[in-house]
A = this chain, B = another copy of it.
């Protein structure tokens, strides 16, 4: 008989070896930073077998979202999670691996249009399968609690003017 077990997440206190926090809000800030690092590490592990980094995967996903339409660098950048991502340089690496193609736009020669190649799509689909599999299996958070989490995360970004 197969028995499901759940590993208790390592408490933040253990993870960063600190027990005293100025407040729960302060702890939450550190917790968000730690959880983001943890999430990135988890996906990086999966993506490694496909020779992709987290950021390269993200760019491929963005391009696939518009496929077969092309996207210029600025459009890709506006959809990146980390807003200071240097998209031209990430595209450099994807181009070397022949996962995307880069061309000067004929409508506006300042723009570079990027297209995901067939190889890019194939690799993205294979890796997305694995990523989604993990996503659906790994996270034990019920949908309604995820809704709450999303609300709280929005609230923490509310700033006084």
Contacts and interface: CB of A to CB of B under 8 A. Distances in A.
- Chain A contact-residue range equals 35 or more
Contacts of A10: 157
Contacts of A106: none
B159 A152 contact: no
A103 to B, nearest CB: 23
A30 B11 CA distance: 21
A30 B79 contact: no
21 contacts: A6-B158, A6-B160, A7-B160, A9-B155, A9-B156, A12-B153, A23-B146, A24-B143, A25-B146, A29-B39, A29-B135, A29-B139, A31-B150, A33-B36, A139-B156, A140-B155, A140-B159, A145-B152, A148-B148, A148-B152, A149-B153
